[in-house]
Amino acid sequence: MVGWEVGRMDTTRSSPVGTDGAEPDLQQHFDATIARDQRIEPRDWMPEGYRKTLIRQIAQHAHSEIIGMQPEGEWITRAPSLFVDGAAICNQVPLCRSSYGPYARAMVRICKEESFHQRQGYELLMTMMRGTQKQREMVQDAVNRWWWPSLMMFGPPDDASPNSAQSMAWKIKRHSNDELRRRFVDMTVPQAEKLGVTLPDPELRWNEELGHHDFGTPDWDELMRVIKGDGPCNDQRMERRRTAHEEGSWVREAATAHAAKQAARERKGAVA
């Protein structure tokens, strides 16, 4: 998930807080643009709620990319990539059609990155499965631990996801959490089969009628605890994030100082 790129969002052009619908012409034009499946661009008027939702989602996404670079960076050689990157792809591919232009365009590049991660992860797991009995057990153990958290990555179930309906109406999100989760299960089952691992869900089976898999319910209480900051790695991650930011500050300061010096030199040259 390394490398985040999010387009420019002009923060000066939306309506002030709490005036959604107070500017009928603008609102109408915005709604019509969304209805025509066209993109909203940075300088367009947008309802405050749309802007807030985007900032929340993009910030959350950016954060996950940064964390992917920091504590998770060292997982690369022992990664549960099959699931985590696979889930990211399921989530992100439809976002390439998100109604906010810069976000959608950034997603195209992020998806290229993610597909490369997933291929790397799958090859790595295949190599492990061709190894010793011990190595095969390690893969299965990782699958057992990561299957449910991967399903949770799609977020709470639709009936408990307060922002989903509005985000879909605004076409920021193109599919609901549950739809994406099901798509991920359908996509992963044959990959796991080919790999020779068992997914730890006794309720998992193909539903001929629906053309999808039926599967068990993740432990939503656990997801809520993790979201609220009570996950197994929460403190460690916050600490790593803080440390990385602080340790990088001298680079940022040096770059700023250098830029200021160059600018001053140029001004001096222009006068002379």
Partner 1 sequence: MTADKQDWPLYEVFVRGKRGLNHVHVGSLHAADDRMALTHARDLYTRRNEGVSIWVVRSEHIAASTRDEKDPFFEPSADKVYRHPTFYDIPDDVPHI
Q: Which CB, 13 or 242, lies closer to partner 1?
A: 13
Part in contact with partner 1 (CB under 8 A); list of ranges 41-49, 159-167, 178-186, 196-204? 41-49
Shortest separation between residue 44's beta carbon and partner 1, angstroms? 5
Q: Which of 55, 257, 264, 267 binds partner 1 (CB under 8 A)?
A: 257
Find out whether 213 and 182 touch, Cβ atoms under 8 Å. yes
Q: Which of 137, 141, 193, 253 binds partner 1 (CB under 8 A)?
A: 253
252 interacts with partner 1 by CB under 8 A? yes
Shortest separation between residue 101's beta carbon and partner 1, angstroms? 11
Q: Which of 55, 160, 169, 255 binds partner 1 (CB under 8 A)?
A: 255
CA torsion, ordered 188, 190, 196, 200, to nearest 10 deg: 50
Q: Which CB, 207 or 256, lies closer to partner 1?
A: 256
Part in contact with partner 1 (CB under 8 A); list of ranges 49-57, 172-180, 223-231, 249-257? 249-257
**With the C-alpha atoms ordered 259, 261, 263, 269, is the resulting torsion angle positive or negative?**
negative
Q: Which CB, 33 or 150, lies closer to partner 1?
A: 33
Buried b (16+ CB within 10 A) or exposed e, 134-169: eebeebbebbeebbbbbbbbbbbbeeebebbeebee
Residues paired with 214 in a beta bridge: 205
13 interacts with partner 1 by CB under 8 A? yes
Per CB under 8 A, residues contacting partner 1 are 3, 5, 7-8, 13, 29, 41, 43-45, 102, 105-106, 109, 112, 249, 252-253, 255-259, 262-263
